[in-house]
Amino acid sequence: MTASTLIRAARKSRGLTQAQLAEFTSIDQSRVSRSERGRETDFGTVERLLAGVGYRLYSAPTRRDDASTAAVEIRDRLKAGHRELALRSLLQLSDNLKAERGLLRGILGLAEPESTGDRVWDAAIAGLVEWRLGEEGLPIPDWVNLPIRFLDSPSTLGIDTADPLPPRSEVPEQFAKRGVLVWRDTFESV
C-alpha cells in the first residue's frame, strides 16, 4: 500500500475531512492534501497523520498489494469502463492473499479499502478478504462486515451478460451472503 492510499483510507474510515485531520494533527490542510496525493510525504508526516485518526504505522515484508490498493485500482478501472480489467485486479488480490501465509495474509486484508464507487464490487472485495483470511483461520477485520459491504438484492459483477448465473452451490459462501453472484472457479489461478 502506498502512503497516500493509507492516509486517505485511514482518514475516510473515521469519517473525517482533510481539514478536520489537519486540525487534529496541527498539519496544514494543504499538506494533508499533498500527502493523500503522494507528494511531500515523509515518514514522520505519515505517522502523525495516522496517529491523528487513532492508527499506528507498521510495516510487513511483502511485495504484494493489499485490499486497499486493489480497491483503488478497481475504482479507476471501473471509472474508465474497463470491467474486465477490474476483475483482473480482484483476481490479483485473491492471488496475493493466497500467496501469503499467517500474519502477512492478514495484513493484506486489514486496512479498510475506500469505496470503488460500486456497491457490488465493494461487497466482492469484502467477501474475498473474508474468504481468504478464513481459509487460515485468521481474524476477520471489522470493515468486512459493515452494512455497506452487503447488497440488498443479489447481483453479478456485470462482466459478461451472456455468462449464466451461478447456482448457490457454486458461489463462495462469503460472496453469497453479501449478495454477490460469482462463480467459485473464477478465483482459480490459471
CATH number, domain of 15, equals: 1.10.260.40
Residue 117 lies in a domain: yes
Residue 34 lies in a domain: yes
The tens digit of pLDDT for each residue in 156-189 reads 999 988 889 999 999 999 999 999 999 999 998 7
The tens digit of pLDDT for each residue in 26-65 reads 898 998 898 888 876 777 888 888 888 887 766 667 789 9
Whether residue 77 sits in one domain with residue 41: no
Indicate the pTM of the whole model: 0.75
The tens digit of pLDDT for each residue in 133-165 reads 999 999 999 999 999 999 999 999 999 888 899
Domain count, the chain: 2
Whether residue 83 sits in one domain with residue 36: no
| Cβ count near 71 (within 10 Å) | 25
Give bridge partners of residue 155 from the DSSP assignment. 180
Going by C-beta distance under 8 Å and a sequence separation of 6 or more, which residues neighbour residue 59?
A: none
Is residue 112 within 8 Å of 9, Cβ to Cβ? yes
Whether residue 73 sits in one domain with residue 47: no
Residue 61 lies in a domain: no
* DSSP for the chain, written as a single string: --HHHHHHHHHHHTT--HHHHHHHHT--HHHHHHHHTTSS--HHHHHHHHHHTT------S--S--HHHHHHHHHHHHHTT-HHHHHHHHHHHHHHHHHS-THHHHHHTTSPPPP-S-HHHHHHHHHHHHHHHHHTTPPPPGGGGSGGGS-SS-B---S-TTSPPPPGGGS-HHHHTTTB---GGGGS--
User: The domain containing residue 74 runs over which residues?
Assistant: 67-187
Whether residue 72 sits in one domain with residue 112: yes
Whether residue 101 sits in one domain with residue 24: no
Whether residue 141 sits in one domain with residue 79: yes
Which pLDDT score, from 0 to 100, does residue 119 have? 97
Phi-psi region of 92 (alpha: psi -120 to 50; beta: other; left: phi over 0): alpha
Residue 58 lies in a domain: no
Whether residue 28 sits in one domain with residue 78: no
- Can you tell me whether residue 16 is helix, strand or coil? coil
| Average pLDDT value for residue range 7-25 | 86
Whether residue 161 sits in one domain with residue 72: yes
Whether residue 97 sits in one domain with residue 29: no
